[in-house]
Chain A
Amino acid sequence: MTSGETPRIGPHDFAGLDAGPVDTSQHDLAQWERVVDAIIYLLGKKGVMKDVAELRRHIEDLGPDVYERLSYYERWAASAAATCVEAGVVTREELDARAAEIAKRSEAS
């Protein structure tokens, strides 16, 4: 039997793909990444997210191009937002409006 007969189950299904050497250089988290990391835990604790499978699914639903382009916590940010929209605690419009406002704020500072 060879691998490759069975279709990958999504953009995240990396096992067996060709890839270069493992780069072990460390990456210190930026503050926004620490925040996104903690949001994931809080969404679970507060019952907004009922199961971590929701977050995984929203990451996979980014599609192969976006999945491969984004950094780890960018994926989690996108997925946490999608999870919250689906749970009905925020809307896309609110998120977009706030993101634009923050961009303006940080330009001004």
Chain B
Amino acid sequence: MSARFEVGQSVRIGDRTEPRHHRVPAYVKGREGIVVCLCHPQGLPEELAYRELGEPKQTIYRVRVSQPHLWSSYQGEAHDNLEIEIHESWLDPL
């Protein structure tokens, strides 16, 4: 499987409305981050949730996002961050 993104690359998490079950919570949609890790390919929840095949499997990326970028009123430190798992089809290059 060839992965579209590599560690260190800047990406944007998709900001689209998806009426089907999916695993991209609202708070990260449209946010920019950096790929920190490539994980085992997995089927797509948008299909698996409906007993469909979910193929082809997609590379899972762990994306690191800055906390002040996520929350405009963030009360912590500027260097705090968050990591989340995103299927490849939910990422765009920056």
The interface of chain A, by Cβ under 8 A from chain B, is: 1-3, 5-10, 13, 15-16, 50-51, 53-54, 56-57, 60, 86-87
Q: Is the CB of B30 within 8 A of A6?
A: yes
Cα–Cα distance between A6 and B31 once the two chains are bound (Å): 11
B16 to chain A, nearest CB (A): 10
Q: What chain A residues lie within 8 Å of B27 (beta carbons)? A: 3, 6, 15-16
The interface of chain B, by Cβ under 8 A from chain A, is: 15, 17-18, 21-22, 24-27, 29-31, 43, 45, 48-51, 54, 69-73
Q: Is the CB of B26 within 8 A of A7?
A: yes
Grouping DSSP codes into helix (H, G, I), strand (E, B) and loop, the A interface class, with mixed when no group exceeds half, is: loop
Cα–Cα distance between A13 and B23 once the two chains are bound (Å): 9
| Cβ 8 A contact of B51, one of A7, A10, A54, A56 | A54
A1-B69, A15-B25 given; A51·B43 CB < 8 A: yes
Q: Is the CB of B31 within 8 A of A50?
A: no
Chain A: which residue is nearest B15 at the CB level? A6
Q: Is the CB of B21 within 8 A of A53?
A: yes
Q: Is the CB of B72 within 8 A of A2?
A: yes
Cα–Cα distance between A85 and B51 once the two chains are bound (Å): 13
Q: What chain B residues lie within 8 Å of A15 (beta carbons)? A: 25-27
Q: What chain B residues lie within 8 Å of A2 (beta carbons)? A: 71-73
Q: What chain B residues lie within 8 Å of A10 (beta carbons)? A: 21
Given contacts A7-B17, A53-B45, 6 further A-B contacts (CB under 8 A): A2-B72, A5-B30, A9-B18, A15-B26, A16-B27, A51-B51
